[in-house]
Amino acid sequence: MGLGNGLVNPSLNGSISLVSGENEQGGNLGVSQSLSSLARIVGPPTGGALYQFYGTWSPFAAASVFCLTALILAWGLRARIPERGLKV
């Protein structure tokens, strides 16, 4: 989990700052961090309840639905992220 967060968070924050206007960056990054914290609070008990009441497969099925939803949203946003060349 730590490795995944270490790889995802910098690119997520960079993408949010590129998509946001100058006056919106702080607010959008704050919302992103707040939702991330909320997911860390709500996720484990929800996964435990799914596991207990519906079986071992249910947390993985729910995670798959959330990941697919995030992929669809990210795919739609990729057109809004400007391409930038590397300056060496």
Q: What is the pLDDT of residues 36-48, one digit of tens each?
A: 999 999 999 999 9
Give pLDDT tens digits for 25-68: 999 999 999 999 999 999 999 999 999 999 999 999 999 999 99
Kindly state the average pLDDT of the residues 73-81. 76
The residue among 88 and 60 whose pLDDT is bigger is 60
Predicted TM-score (pTM) of the model is: 0.71
In our burial notation (b when 16+ CB lie closer than 10 A, e otherwise), range 9-39 reads eeeeeebbeeebeeeeeeeeeeebeeeeeee
